[in-house]
Amino acid sequence: MKYSIVILNYNVKHFVDACLQSLQDTIAGKDAEIIVADNASTDGSRSFFKNKYPNVKFLWFEQNYGFAKAYNKAVAHAQGKYLLILNPDTLVSENLLDKLQNFADNHPDFGIIGGKMIDGTGNFLPESKRGIPTPLTALGKLTKLSKILNFKPFNQYYAPHLTPDQSGEVPILTGAFMFIKRKTYIDAGGFDERYFMYGEDIDLSYTILQSGKKNYYLSKAKIIHFKGESSQKDKAYLTNFFNTTFQFYRKHFRSFPPQEFLMKIFFKIWLLLHKKKKKKKMKISYNSICFAGQKKHFALIKKHFPQATHIDRIPNDIKPKNLIIFDTSLFKFSQIIETMENNPAYYRFYFPTSKTLLGSDYKDQIGSILQV
């Protein structure tokens, strides 16, 4: 087998369902398998997916193993020469594997290939490409010192040597979207299971770099990543992010206790002074709502969006405050992604087989799900 696409589910069945629907065109005609590993979800995922995707291998774990261990267990079942590791809250284009494979064939030294991620409004997600998170780099990112001190090492977290539309070498790629040979993954030991949360992808990227291979950001390989649930930056997240940075640094670099001590003191003082404002739920006002899709599906959309209009093509003139609802049975995701990139606005994705609307109106919003 050539490709194994591996997805981890934990109580996000509707996102996994949408991701799997988007993947059907991606794997069409290819020697590929899809593996969904479930971390003991309690949202009825097992009954929801029963007999729904006969071409998907589901692994139902009896406990929540966390990110790293669950992926390692799933990869142990994979048969493909190449792995495509995806977050569940992603939507992919039908030509994604072709673009990744073509780049891999022309770069035999590759370790991991990542790609361009956009959020639910079409905006670029900077974590698509990253630098090595030294403590000073991580500190610059967390405290936003990188915007004040715009020089190395404070501003290196998002690999600024490449623009979003440039492809090239980057040190670190995100676990939400990784293309890697299964042998390379196994030889590197997979994701380090000692990381509690966050950092596994950073560690794997750096471990592979140390083996002599190169990691690449491929701007033409594009996916939609809602990511809202993973971006709630509360105190626990900030503390865990900082601790993970030092865990990574101690593992791969020579520890310097005085520096760690001073930086921890600085971080704790900053955390005490940093009064996190609760994010208010943004009230979005759409100037217009357009359903771009098959006429037979419009009646259902109209029930929930009475002011919606209908067309059966990609809209020509999309304004920033327009809401566009794409019928995924009419358009390819490559068309949808290109439209979103060129016209940042508000978007929803309608999946007729499950009668589900998915979307997100800003990058820190947990993706919304509406059963129509």
Question: Per DSSP, what are the bridge partners of residue 356?
Answer: 351, 371
Are 180 and 131 in the same domain? yes
In a domain, 278, yes or no: no
Question: pLDDT tens digits for 100-128?
Answer: 999 999 999 999 999 999 999 999 999 99
- Checking if the pLDDT of 45 tops 90, the result is yes
Are 226 and 239 in the same domain? no
Q: Are residues 292 and 330 in contact, defined by beta-carbon separation less than 8 angstroms?
A: yes
Give pTM, 2 decimals. 0.91
Question: pLDDT tens digits for 314-367?
Answer: 999 999 999 999 999 999 999 999 999 999 999 999 999 999 999 988 776 677
Are 182 and 255 in the same domain? no
Are 153 and 87 in the same domain? yes
| Domain count for the chain | 3
Angstrom distance (rounded) from CA 235 to CA 72 = 29
How would you label 215-254 residue by residue, b for 16+ Cβ within 10 Å and e otherwise? bbbbbebbbbbbbbbbeeeeeebbebbbbbbbbbbeeeee
Q: How many Cα neighbours within 13 Å face the side chain of 258? A: 0
H or E stretch at 47 = helix 45-49
CATH code: domain of residue 167: 3.90.550.10
What share of residues in the chain are helix, strand, coil (percent, to 5)? 35, 25, 40
User: 82-96, 146-160, 325-339 — which is least confidently predicted?
Assistant: 146-160
Q: Which domain holds residue 301?
A: 288-371
Question: Per DSSP, what are the bridge partners of residue 37?
Answer: 8, 59
In a domain, 283, yes or no: no
